[in-house]
Amino acid sequence: MWGDKEYVLQRVREDYFWLDHAEPHLKADPEVVLVALAMDGRALRFADICLQANPEFVLQAVRHTGGALVYASPKLRATRAIVLEAVRQCGRSLEVASEAMRADREVVLEAVQQDGFALEFASDLLRSDREVVLAAVRVCGCALEHADPVLKNDKEIVLEAVDQHGLALESAGPLPRADREIVLAAVSRHGGALRFAPSKMKKDREVVLEAVRRSSGGAWKHAETRLKADPLLDPCSACLNPIATPGSAGAPVFTVLEVTVREVEALVEMHATSMTGMEVRVELPVEATVGDFGRRLVEPTRHRTVYMVLLGHSEPLSPFDVDRPFLDVAAHLRTSA
């Protein structure tokens, strides 16, 4: 049965794994093996050793499944054209490439652009190559772990890494971890990054607020003890705060253009516009807070927080203004109707 070519062809068209059951002469049959490889490049595992050393068959395998490179002969794992095809499909197949290929800059760049973690398998020289490391962390921030120690202190590289994944802060050098801009970027992506920040950052109210709300409250335990008594940093309050933290990424910016008080109805009408041209008019009771108006601005967006900038001011309102009466904060824009 497993020596019958037509039967084996039928089975490998269903699942490449059936090639493992074929008789040896069929594992060396080009037609049978090519059909199996068209199903999954990992069929190379079951092919005859002669076909594992055949460039045509190995190229077919790695184009389908880059990880099939592991089943190629040592000579072909050192063949540039084949390794390039493999890493373009699966960056981590660089692990089984020859030492020379892991030191080939073009090959490694292709690998890390497909999977940043392929940086782990690059040569020491290329893990200290700034362009290679930048390419890796832009795809997978946590690949920073495998960069040369010198580059772990490069601000641009660390910023790229934490912007892709906040927890990359764990692998940053001491200088970037003490940089407020970097720490704020990290906790904006993943609140849990606060645990890798130095104690000075765990005392920073804005950094802690951003971390707490980006972790659904989980980062609160990493805050400095004194800040845990701050009601605005309580996980429930922090997660409901609609005002973006200055320096955090992603929140839309609304400029408050007009604030009109309708005395008879005891209402305040706010007219705001976003940087993308979205116009919003909100009516709330005169006692409404900054947070009340912020929550109404969030509604038409796909975000959880917004920046509120009052006309005539250059800086946005602070998230710690959330409970202040809006009319007190926007007094200079107030008109009556």
Beta carbons within 8 Å of 122's beta carbon, 6+ residues apart: 94, 102, 103, 108, 111, 112, 132, 146
Task: Give the model confidence (pLDDT) of 229-255 as tens digits.
Answer: 999 999 999 999 999 998 887 899 999
Confidence check: pLDDT of 1 > 90: no
Written as one letter, the residue type at 222 is H
Torsion on CA atoms 318, 320, 321, 325, rounded to nearest 10: 170
pLDDT band per the 50, 70, 90 thresholds, residue 337: confident
Mean pLDDT of 138-160: 98
**Whole-number Å distance between alpha carbons of 301 and 273:** 12
Q: Please state the length of the chain.
A: 337
Other C-beta atoms closer than 10 Å to the C-beta of 305 total 22
**Of 164, 140, 137, 215, residue with least CA distance to 154:** 137
Q: Per residue in 82-121, pLDDT tens? A: 999 999 999 999 999 999 999 999 999 999 999 999 999 9
pLDDT band at 261 (very low <50, low <70, confident <90, very high): very high
- As a 3-state breakdown, the chain gives helix, strand, coil percent values, each rounded to 5, of 60, 10, 30
Question: In the numeric block, which tokens belong to residue 85?
Answer: 């095809």
Distance between CA atoms of 78 and 82, rounded to whole angstroms?
A: 8
Q: What is the structure's pLDDT at 65?
A: 95
Cα end-to-end span (Å), the chain = 92
pLDDT band at 336 (very low <50, low <70, confident <90, very high): confident
Q: Which of 50, 56, 65, 88 is nearest to 16 (CA)?
A: 65
pLDDT for 250 equals 82
